[in-house]
């Protein structure tokens, strides 16, 4: 895959998904374009979910929300079709996966609302460009994620604990990472905690609740960012009659440039 | 002292010093105006000292440097007179204090170069405005400062270890402090280290090399900033024939607003 290759822009990735030419993870595709988590809910649950995201902006930074029934993410990807433009979907009924299709035309309804939630790929790219190590990328595994004892602000039926991702960094790199990722509040922003896992209810860094464990080297601190798994966990624990999400790692690739999300 | 009082601006503090009406510390005076450390050297040493500051910008952020013989800090305080506008001075010969006068007219020479170096008061004000605790201010003592095992980049005869100031903060406050103080690179900027004192050669936080010890409460991390004592220590260890500095705590108050030093 090259910069000028067929999957080098958000639009080209979306079209490849739509045409059945791409059904894999999107990490590394369309470098420089922001990718997003997808949550689709019937309007009956969507209002409370919108409120949940508004009240918990660090784990749930909303890049775009559609009007009911609208299939285009008009704010971040004009011309897109959220029913076809991701590599794959998970369909949940009452909190259980019932189907994992590559498109969801057959499920579409006029009352479905789509939420696009910022993704850590954007701030990880910024860390890499600044020469900071990102351990799980070095190792080619998933970022380790942990449930904390920090309660999210509830909204309607949506409630749950903050989920964090962890990246180990030497102290001076942790300081630099605060400055760099703090520039991107639309994609989780600055870390929420560092150094002391027990203070946020994490007992064992070697046993993440999601993703893969990564080693912490001598002199490194664990640094914790609010994670987009938070809204998914809150969503599924409420067991709504229908929810549709992206497949883990297979994101919606927008037309927004990562750098357009930087505040300074 | 009120905002509209006689010592509420940089100019009013400088005039009070000049007229013999103020010879005390300047902490708390002229709120919102940046204060600066002063170092005066003969031109023969000044070039190497300028190079030392340029090579070590975190401990030695230069706000202003005069031309040889110039008594006005034209860049930061038009109309000022560096011979009279501080509460008091220390005169060093070959690294020893020989005089502590309230003005230095009698010592002035056409080859003297004045360096104004940014001071932590600016970023501490920003921390307080953001609701972050600053322990030594709460306790009414001096900030604790420590020599580290981190070598500065030498220049000519000037060499030495980085000196840091330490402020204890809870992890989430430390993250916020990185973001807030990082906005002020002209006054030491973001911390250089946190959490692990031994990693930078600090054995005992209860025994600072300069200033006063402060307690670190349960759950707090020590956070370390590069400190303006660094250039003074490097200067004095080189034992120049003549050097003139401010009295500790009695700074040069400029016309620059603290907020004008913020980069974002």
Residue A201 with chain B: CB contacts under 8 Å: none
Give the residue from B55, B43, B37, B39 showing the smallest Cα distance to B159.
B55
The radius of gyration of chain A from alpha carbons, rounded to an integer in Å, stands at 18
Q: Is domain A10-120+239-261 given the CATH code 1.10.357.10 in the classification?
A: no
Contact A195 B221 (CB under 8 A): yes
pLDDT at A246: 95
Residue of B nearest to A172 (CA): B193
At B4, the pLDDT band (50, 70, 90 cuts) reads: very low
Structure tokens at B54: 């340029």
Contact B175 A192 (CB under 8 A): yes
Can you tell me whether residue A37 is helix, strand or coil?
strand
pLDDT at A5: 62
pLDDT at B123: 93
Q: Min CA distance, B218 vs chain A (Å)?
A: 11
> Would you tell me how many other CB atoms lie within 10 Å of the CB of residue B77?
25
- What are the structural domain ranges in chain B? 10-119+239-261, 121-231
Residue of A nearest to B221 (CA): A195
pLDDT tens, residue by residue, B130-173: 999 999 999 999 899 999 999 999 999 999 999 999 999 999 99
CATH class of the region B10-119+239-261: alpha beta
Task: Give the CATH fold of the B121-231 domain.
Answer: PSTPO5379-like fold (3.30.2040)
Residue B264 with chain A: CB contacts under 8 Å: 264
User: Is B118 within 8 Å of B165 (Cβ atoms)?
Assistant: no
pLDDT of B2 > 60? The answer is no
Q: Min CA distance, B237 vs chain A (Å)?
A: 28
Of residues A176, A178, A264, nearest to B175 (C-beta): A178
Of residues B182, B192, B199, nearest to A219 (C-beta): B199
Of residues A179, A192, A221, nearest to B179 (C-beta): A179
Q: Given this chain, do its domains B10-119+239-261 and B121-231 carry the same CATH topology?
A: no
Q: Which CATH architecture has domain A129-231?
A: 2-Layer Sandwich (3.30)
pLDDT at A144: 95
Full-model pTM: 0.88
Residue B195 with chain A: CB contacts under 8 Å: 171, 194-195, 221
pLDDT tens, residue by residue, B21-37: 999 999 889 999 999 99
Backbone angles phi, psi at A225, to 5 degrees: -115, 145
Interface test mutation site (partner B, options A123, A162, A171, max chain B beta carbons within 10 A): A171
Q: Min CA distance, A79 vs chain B (Å)?
A: 35
Interface test mutation site (partner B, options A162, A191, A193, A194, max chain B beta carbons within 10 A): A194
pLDDT at A2: 40
Of residues A171, A179, A193, nearest to B194 (C-beta): A171
pLDDT at B26: 93
Q: How many Å apart are CA A77 and CA A127, to the nearest integer?
A: 25
Q: How many Å apart are CA B199 and CA A134, to the nearest integer?
A: 21
Contact A171 B182 (CB under 8 A): no
Can you tell me whether residue B102 is helix, strand or coil?
coil
pLDDT of A177 > 90? The answer is yes
Q: Min CA distance, B223 vs chain A (Å)?
A: 10
Q: How many Å apart are CA B113 and CA B71, to the nearest integer?
A: 9
Mean pLDDT along residues A112-133: 95
pLDDT at B46: 95
Structure tokens at A204: 């064992």
Q: How many Å apart are CA B111 and CA A257, to the nearest integer?
A: 54
Classify strands A221-226 and A89-93 as parallel, antiparallel or unpaired.
unpaired
Q: ipTM of this predicted complex?
A: 0.82
Residue of B nearest to A191 (CA): B175
């Amino acid at each position: 895959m090259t910069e000028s290759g067929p999957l080098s822009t958000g639009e080209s990735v979306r079209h490849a998904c739509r045409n059945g030419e791409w059904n894999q993870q999107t990490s590394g595709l369309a470098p420089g374009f922001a990718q997003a988590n997808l949550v689709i809910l019937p309007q009956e649950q969507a209002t409370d979910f919108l409120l949940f995201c508004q009240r918990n902006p660090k784990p749930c930074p909303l890049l775009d929300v559609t009007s009911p029934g609208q299939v285009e993410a008009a704010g971040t990807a004009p011309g897109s079709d959220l029913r076809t433009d991701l590599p794959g979907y998970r369909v949940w009924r009452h909190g259980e996966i019932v189907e994992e299709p590559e498109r969801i035309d057959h499920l579409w309804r006029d009352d479905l609302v789509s939420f696009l939630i910022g993704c850590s790929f954007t701030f990880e790219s910024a860390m890499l460009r600044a020469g900071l190590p990102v351990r799980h990328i070095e190792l080619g595994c998933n970022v380790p994620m942990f449930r904390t004892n920090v309660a999210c602000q509830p909204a309607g039926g949506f409630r749950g604990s903050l989920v964090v991702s962890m990246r180990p960094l030497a102290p001076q790199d942790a300081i630099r990472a605060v400055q760099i990722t703090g520039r991107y509040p639309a994609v989780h922003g600055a870390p929420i905690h560092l150094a002391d896992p027990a203070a946020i209810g994490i007992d064992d860094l070697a046993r993440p609740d999601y993703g893969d464990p990564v080693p912490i080297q001598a002199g490194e601190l664990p640094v914790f960012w609010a994670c987009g798994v938070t809204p998914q966990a809150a969503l599924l624990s409420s067991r709504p009659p229908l929810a549709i999400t992206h497949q883990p790692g297979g994101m919606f690739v927008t037309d927004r440039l990562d750098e357009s999300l930087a505040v300074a």
